[in-house]
Chains A and B, each alone.
Chain A
Amino acid sequence: MLTAVIALSALALFSSFLLAVVARAFAVPVNPKIEEVEGALPGANCGGCGLPGCSELARRIAEGKADVDACPVGGESVALKLAAIMGKAFEGGAVRKIALVLCNGNDQVAEKRFHYNGVRDCTSAAMLFGGDKACLYGCLGLGTCVGICPFQAMRMLPNGLPAVDPAKCTACGKCVAACPKKIIKLVPIDKRVHILCSSHDKGAKVRKICEVGCIACTKCVKEAPEGAITMHDNLAVVSYDFDIPDAVAACCPMNTIHVRALDGAIERLEEAASVSGGAL
């Protein structure tokens, strides 16, 4: 008994001594700022900055390899804190961004080509002839973006399209990357006029398959201030550098242009979707 106790204690003592010596001999000096920066970051480890986690970003920022506003989730407040830690100038004033799904072709207004019966996932559905929607650019409505959102900021509306909760969305960009149709964009939250279509099809084809798609009539381009709306391969695209008057939306013959304050509560979108059962 006694030998066992002594032997084990000796072994434990010896290993701890060895560990202490090794820790001293092979100590790696760590930049104390890394810890400070990491403390100021949100700690969501969402990967929105493009790095594996907050600690990796903290290391980069502390070493000066990344900007203080590199964290899309933290936004201005975190950037200001980090600027103070790093002793860098940061003015702020950048507008918060939020994800927006650029398709309004819900099940009532957009045609389907076939009945998709596979895995309930947009990426899988898109692999099968580009999905069941007749429009190759349309939202497949299976909620891959909803599932991937690390902040539970997305929800499927009753009409089969996803909606973003502005209170929770941090513009981390996960949904933007996950969408197989690439129709989710990060847009400034203070802009009100949006073109909810991503179709590059010709007008005649869009008319046949979707009631709310852009038919490339270019009316809005003429109505809006110079350069605010431009045509890109049969699709009118809003440039969010401009402030477009609400009235422009009225000129759209397909109701593709929407006037919507993005910071409104998600419940309102949900209600509207269930009442009208169709386009918002």
Chain B
Amino acid sequence: MKTLILIIVSAVFVNNFVLSRFLGICPFLGVSKRIKTAAGMSAAVIFVMTMASAATWLFYEYILVPFNLVYLQTVTFILVIAALVQVVETVLLKKSPTLYRALGIYLPLITTNCAVLGVAVLNIQKEYNLVETTVFGFGAAVGFGFAMMIFSGIRERMELCDTPVPLRGTAIGLVTAGLLSLAFMGFTGLVKQ
């Protein structure tokens, strides 16, 4: 239990995917203009990353390892995640239209997202078991959502500020992301690796 909690804390704060590992920067900058879209994106990421972690772990343990295909890890993970998300999307549309409408437009966006692939690869590197893998995927996604919400909150307020013309838009967004990342460096050492 203690390990699992440590995994979550470490994934959310210490090794935050966006702000310390710099994974998933694309949606971090792309859909963080409003808190509402950021929340939708975060929910979709949590959903996909948790699922993809478990799926890729099973795929690795029961297909890649027995067939000596470990060197194909990265390529096959992309395929597995993309197919999985597509399947889930189709099933959601039929079985739970409400959830589909909430996550729908974000799901295809993150099928080949580097954060999702990153979590799958990291799980294998760290030699986690299935439960730890799922928890790490979930924690990493929560960390992503956490960073997303903070960042979109700041950006919403920044809309009203008198930003110097050359810095408007993405430029000031990147500056803010950098400062936020610096702030997250303060968590270093919270969990002993």
Contacts and interface: CB of A to CB of B under 8 A. Distances in A.
Interface of A: 3-4, 7-8, 11-12, 15-16, 18-19, 22-23, 26-28, 119-121, 124
Given A8-B75, A22-B91, A26-B95, A3 B80 contact: no
29 contacts: A4-B72, A7-B67, A7-B76, A8-B76, A8-B79, A11-B76, A11-B79, A12-B79, A15-B79, A15-B80, A15-B82, A16-B83, A18-B83, A18-B87, A19-B83, A19-B87, A19-B90, A22-B90, A22-B91, A23-B90, A26-B90, A26-B91, A26-B95, A27-B94, A28-B94, A119-B161, A120-B162, A121-B160, A124-B160
Contacts of B71: 4
Interface in B71-102: 71-72, 75-76, 79-80, 82-83, 86-87, 90-91, 93-95
Given A11-B76, A18-B83, A26 B69 contact: no
Nearest to B71: A4
A8 B80 CA distance: 11
Contacts of A4: 69, 71-72
Interface in B115-147: none
A8 B76 CA distance: 7
Interface of B: 67, 69, 71-72, 75-76, 79-80, 82-83, 86-87, 90-91, 93-95, 160-162
A188 B73 CA distance: 65
A26 B94 contact: yes
Contacts of B79: 8, 11-12, 15
Contacts of A121: 160
A27 B93 CA distance: 9
Contacts of A27: 94
Interface pairs A-B: 9 shortest CB-CB:
A15-B83, A26-B94, A22-B87, A26-B90, A22-B90, A26-B91, A7-B69, A28-B94, A28-B93
A11 B162 CA distance: 53
Nearest to B97: A28
A4 B76 CA distance: 10
A26 B95 CA distance: 8
A143 B67 CA distance: 66
B76 to A, nearest CB: 6
A59 to B, nearest CB: 11
A117 to B, nearest CB: 10
A7 B72 contact: yes
A269 B42 CA distance: 48
A28 B95 CA distance: 10
Contacts of A11: 76, 79-80
A4 to B, nearest CB: 6
A26 B91 CA distance: 6
Given A15-B80, A19-B87, 7 more contacts: A3-B69, A7-B72, A7-B76, A15-B83, A16-B83, A26-B90, A27-B94
Nearest to B84: A15
Contacts of B87: 18-19, 22
Contacts of A16: 83
